[in-house]
Amino acid sequence: MVEHVQQEFDQYALNYEAVIDDYVSFSGQSQAFYTRAKARHLREILDAESRAKQLDVLDVGCGHGLIHPYLNDGGYRLTGIDVAASAIGMARKMNPHVNYDVYDGVRLPYVDASFDLLFTICVMHHVPIAQWGSFVEEARRVLRPRGKFIIFEHNKLNPLVQWVVSRVPIDRNAVLLTSWRTKKLLHDAGFRSIACRHILFFPFEAPLFQKIEKHLAWLPMGAQYYVTGTK
């Protein structure tokens, strides 16, 4: 996993957002719109989980930490980790409130049961298929009992998403997962209470469209989805 991912993301470290914007601009929105959308869903889960205590949260494959500014007022102890040292260096400058680490892409450098919640955003499709299972198992290892794991991914069943991913140079080695494949990976790793929600049906932020999307969450046609599981 490490070598080709490092090369891909180090190559685009300085202009990552511009590259993504170029390929999603047809939607009328920028990369930031899609980051904010995922942040809203993530905050719902984080806020619900943090009512009883302050959470230790890990973002695996955090890249430049673009989502972290949307989470910095939640009172979470946030850590981000990635294989691309150049991206982590930029993340540290942009988000001094977050702890960042670099790792080998195989074993997370934390002891068992270190975090209350772990999330990974559009990272699994960069992980070699043979390592999907071990990636999920490693996430479970560092979670505390009853901790949550959240996987955001592109929706393989959406033809427009397929078209965009096939054109983005950063995704040239991507292998997209269906939501049920992701759910099975969590099941096989021993997670329970597994659920899936499809998101980003519309490129609009108006509350009306957000409300409609909540009713469509079961429909596997949104641009992305997220799967949650509890240890």
Look up residue 62 and give its two tokens: 């955090």
Q: Which residues contact 164 (CB under 8 A, 6 or more apart)?
A: 23, 24
pLDDT attached to residue 9: 55
**pTM, two decimal places:** 0.91
Average pLDDT over residues 186-198: 98
pLDDT in tens, 59-112: 999 999 999 999 987 789 999 999 989 899 999 999 999 999 999 999 999 999
Please count the helices (runs of H) and the strands (runs of E) in the chain: 8, 7
Inter-CA distances, 13 with 64, 65, 81, 174, 197, Å: 8, 12, 15, 18, 30
Residue 128 pLDDT exceeds 80: yes
Structural domain spans, the chain: 2-230
H helix or E strand, kind and range, residue 145: strand 143-154
Are 119 and 171 in contact by the 8 Å Cβ rule? The answer is: no
String of DSSP letters for 38-80: HHHHHHHHHHHHTTSSPPEEEEET-TT-TTGGGTTTS--EEEE
Q: 2-230: what fold?
A: Rossmann fold (3.40.50)
pLDDT in tens, 138-166: 999 999 999 999 999 999 999 998 988 88
Residue 27 pLDDT exceeds 70: no
Of residues 160 and 13, the one with the higher pLDDT is 160
